[in-house]
Amino acid sequence: MAVHCSKWLWGICCLSLAACDPTFNSQEGEEAQPFTPVADLQVTEDVPSKRLSEVAGQPVFPSAKDADKAVVPEAALAYVGRYQVKISCEDAYVKCETGTADFILTLLPDGTAHRSIVYLGRVMAGAQMNYHLDYWMYDETAHQIIVHRSNGVEIFYDIDDTQNLRMDLEKIATVSTVNQQYFSRNPLPAHAYYLEKSAD
C-alpha cells in the first residue's frame, strides 16, 4: 500500500512540474496562441481609476519633459511632446457614429509613441478610449516623424515650421506592402490631419 501511494504521489509531482514548465506542451505540434500585446488592447470605460474626464482633460502618459530616459537622437528631441487634433465621426478612421473624437499622439524621449483616440460622441464599439503603444523615430532627410505600429504599419507625419505635424497620406497608403494590405482592409484617414503640438 505504501509503495502504491508513493508511486501515486510521484506521478502527481511529475505532472505538477510539467504543468509549471513553460516549454511543456500537452499536444505536440499544436501552435501556441499568439500573444496579444497590451498595445493592441482597447481601454474601456470599465477600467478602474481612469474616468473619461481624466483622460480627456490631461495626458495619461509619462511626462514628455522627462528627458532623463532619452534614447532618441538629440536632433529628434525637439519633437518630443503631445500632439492633438479633433476628428469628426464622419471619418471612418476614428470608428465612432456621431460627434467627434480627439486623436492624441504623445512622443516621448524614450522612443515610445502613445496613440489614443478619446471619443466625445457616440461610439460604435462602446469604448470611451482606444489606446496603443507604438514607437517613433525622426527621419532627418525627409524631415518627418515616423510612427512604427506593432503590426508593422508605418505612419508618416510632415513637420512644419512651428513643429506641428501633418499626416502624409500618400506615403502612408503606398509606402510598403504591409501598409497597402492594412489600408485595403481598414479606412485611411479622410484628410491629411494637422496635429498641433501642446504648449505644456
pLDDT, residue 69, reads 60
Checking DSSP bridges between strand 112-119 and strand 81-88, what pairing results, if any? unpaired
Could you report the per-residue pLDDT of 157-171, keeping only the tens digit for each? Answer: 999 999 999 999 999
65-88 mean pLDDT = 83
Cα–Cα distance, 87 to 191 (Å, whole number): 9
Establish if 178 belongs to a structural domain.
yes
Q: Is the pLDDT of residue 44 over 80?
A: no
The structural domain count of the chain equals: 1
| CA distance to 2, 44, 61, 66, 79, per residue, from 41 (Å) | 52, 9, 16, 26, 26
Establish if 14 belongs to a structural domain.
no
Establish if 34 belongs to a structural domain.
no
Could you report the per-residue pLDDT of 84-105, keeping only the tens digit for each? Answer: 999 999 999 998 888 999 999 9
- Contacts of residue 194, defined as CB under 8 A and 6 or more positions apart, other chains included, come to 85, 164, 165, 166
Could you report the per-residue pLDDT of 90-146, keeping only the tens digit for each? Answer: 999 998 888 999 999 999 999 999 999 998 877 666 667 789 999 999 999 999 999
pLDDT, residue 200, reads 66
Establish if 156 belongs to a structural domain.
yes
- Expressed as residue numbers, the domain containing 99 is 39-197
Establish if 23 belongs to a structural domain.
no
Which residue's entry shows cell 538629440?
74
Task: Give the predicted TM-score (pTM) of the model.
Answer: 0.66
